[in-house]
Amino acid sequence: MKKTLLTIALAFTGFCANSQVIFSVEEPASIAGGYELTYAAITDWGVPDMLITSNAVLDTVQLALDTSPTADSLMCDVATPGSLTGKIALLYRGSCEFGEKALSAQNAGAIAVIVINNISGSPVGMGGGAQGLNVTIPVVMVSDVTGALLKEKLLNGETVIAFIGNKADYYENDLGTANKYLMTTEAQAVPAALALNSTEFPVDLGLYVFNYGSVQQTGATVTAQITYNDATIYSETSNSFDFVAGTATEDSIWVDFPAFSSSAFSAGVYAITYTLTPTVTDDYPADNIITTKFVLTENMLSLARLDANGLPTVDQGSKPNPQNGAFTTCINYRNANASRIGAQGIYFGTLKNAADGDMIGEEILVQGYQWNDQFNDTDDAALDFALLEELGAGSYTFSEDLQDTMIYQAFDTPFLLQDNQRYLFCVTATSQTIFLAYDTQTKYDQIELIQKQPIGPIKNADTWSLGFEGNPVPAIGVKTFAAAEAGILETNTVEANVYPNPAKDQVIVSIKGYTGDATMTVTDLAGKTVMNTTVTTDVNGKVKVNTTELNNGMYIINLQMTDGTVSKVNVVINK
């Protein structure tokens, strides 16, 4: 089964060959150099393909101002015609769609656009929105920190000249690499119970290095270093290697290192840093040092990076477009020692375009499947999604506009995993306006080439595929528990009864031994939430529930008590 290239509504950026698109400040010398960026992709913009060298832009940066009463740099209002002619417009994210901002700058004469992120952290992906296809100039985003440097120089009256484009042969001396060319571990976050030592959790090291420059390079080396709690626990330097002059696509070298060996891992963060050292001064050193991490956790499994709160990182979101139904994104997982843990629920993130409103009332489904199709790898013709056995599910309805935020939803039934069994952990958006969160920085390209196992399968309506081109990683986290705690989890379930059953316009739910508030979610047999509210039991543990709005059929009443206990009962409505 081949990967399906789908049109992306909120485009992923930076996944093209050899990651050669850069943003570099050429002047002034005080801030010269390369900076992290994302760039508008041709999937839902009319922008030029930035991998084509001739589409590069090298020119003066100018702070963009619109004609709003405050004359701000959001560029959500029109700008004075000609005010940006021949300039690279510098403006801020916020208040309106990216495409609208860029079109306003383009109409004022700009030849490219730099969007400054309005929140801290790395730049994010940019969807074109309603006007994206009308934008025909390059559009990139930089971080808030980079943007502040640029703005400071401009306000001080200094000239800022920047380069945006494919850097192949742009510099004379230029070696580099990128995240997609690194070996990585099987997951970014793994429960420590599955990684007692490096035999159970191998840490293979290596990377491709490219000569992006125009001249021969000799004697370069790479040092691989692993730190744990700020202490270096591994350090190896490669033998020197040489490049002939050539292009990046033809001039690459794989640099291998001894595997990291440990007889006993400890929980915590392990940082892997690769440092490329040329023998001559590199004209673009921004991609000479690359760091990746893996985390051994108490109860989190994730293919995505974890943030400072120990939750999957939300870089941006995506969905197929056009979408003819629900969109499901999943992570595939299999482990030789999986029977040591169980799955309790899923963390997920969502986003929406501003024009589509907020998240209130939107529903997200989470599911855990045992994937019973028998196949060897992604080249196997037997690979299919026909034998998915649902083991746990849950639904979450937004009562607040929580975007760019990790949400947790427990499974109705926690379940234990089995050794060497494939599982899919999935999140489904039933609304066509919702984007599910992805981590765009983590790359499994090299490990996928070796193991040839699915990473992030997706389902658009009823059609499964192995994921998006470019291998973005779903920002999904599975909350796990130790297998020995299975009995404890079962004790968290308290007995509940419902009567009358069948019912008409009202039922009474009785929760044994519990008095107080509870979150009540009512779902139909398809998993769709039809009621979500907070209820309060009386002194006898009883609460009346109005069912006049429910159609005839069977429903599942899920109760989450404030003391952490849960109950689930079925009721039939027959009017």
**Residue 9 domain flag:** no
Residues in Cβ contact with 134 at an 8 Å cutoff, skipping those fewer than 6 apart: 46, 99, 103
Residues in Cβ contact with 42 at an 8 Å cutoff, skipping those fewer than 6 apart: 48, 49
Last residue of a domain, one of 460, 487, 514: 487
CATH code for position 286: 2.60.40.10
The most distant pair of C-alpha atoms in the chain lies apart, rounded to whole Å, by: 83
**Residue 224 domain flag:** yes
**Residue 16 domain flag:** no
Q: Which of 238, 233, 172, 186 is nearest to 208 (CA)?
A: 238
CATH code for position 29: 3.50.30.30
**Residue 244 domain flag:** yes
Same domain? For 520 and 399 the reply is no
Last residue of a domain, one of 100, 131, 166: 166
Q: Which of 186, 195, 254 is nearest to 228 (CA)?
A: 195
438 pairs with which residues across the strands?
316, 474
pLDDT for the residue numbered 204 = 94
Same domain? For 559 and 463 the reply is no
Domain of residue 407 covers 300-487
Q: Which of 137, 88, 80 is nearest to 108 (CA)?
A: 80
**Whole-angstrom distance, CA of residue 302 vs CA of residue 94:** 30
Percent of the chain that is helix, strand, coil (3-state, to 5): 10, 40, 45
**Whole-angstrom distance, CA of residue 289 vs CA of residue 159:** 29
What tokens were used for 523?
């779902």
pLDDT for the residue numbered 15 = 33
Same domain? For 293 and 311 the reply is no
Residue 487 three-state SS: helix
**Residue 7 domain flag:** no
pTM recorded for the entire structure: 0.76
- DSSP letters, 519-555, are EEEEEETTS-EEEEEEEE--TTSEEEEE-TTPPSEEE
pLDDT for the residue numbered 67 = 83
Same domain? For 351 and 209 the reply is no
Q: How many domains does the chain have?
A: 4
Residue 439 three-state SS: strand
Same domain? For 222 and 293 the reply is yes
Same domain? For 293 and 343 the reply is no
**Whole-angstrom distance, CA of residue 132 vs CA of residue 112:** 14
Residues in Cβ contact with 484 at an 8 Å cutoff, skipping those fewer than 6 apart: none
pLDDT for the residue numbered 73 = 86
**Residue 564 domain flag:** yes
Exposed, middle or buried: residue 196 (CB in 10 Å: 0-12, 13-18, 19+)? middle
Contact 448, 313 (CB under 8 A): no
pLDDT for the residue numbered 319 = 74
Same domain? For 471 and 536 the reply is no
Q: Which of 386, 410, 406 is nearest to 396 (CA)?
A: 410
**Residue 370 domain flag:** yes
pLDDT for the residue numbered 426 = 97
**Whole-angstrom distance, CA of residue 329 vs CA of residue 302:** 14
- DSSP letters, 226-279, are EEETTEEEEEEEPPPEEE-S--TTT-EEEEE-PPB--SS--SEEEEEEEEEE-S
**Residue 5 domain flag:** no
**Whole-angstrom distance, CA of residue 184 vs CA of residue 207:** 10
Quote the DSSP letter at residue 46. Answer: -
What tokens were used for 57?
């832009």
Displacement of CA 118 from its chain's centroid (Å): 19
pLDDT for the residue numbered 58 = 95
Same domain? For 131 and 54 the reply is yes
Same domain? For 317 and 245 the reply is no
**Whole-angstrom distance, CA of residue 108 vs CA of residue 70:** 18
Last residue of a domain, one of 279, 297, 315: 297
Same domain? For 187 and 217 the reply is yes
Same domain? For 219 and 331 the reply is no
Burial 122-131 (b: 16+ CB within 10 A, else e): bbbbbbbbeb
**Whole-angstrom distance, CA of residue 329 vs CA of residue 311:** 17
CATH code for position 402: 2.60.120
Query: Which positions of the chain have pLDDT values less than 70?
Result: 1-19, 70-71, 245-250, 320-324, 487-491, 525-527
Same domain? For 528 and 459 the reply is no
Quote the DSSP letter at residue 340. Answer: G
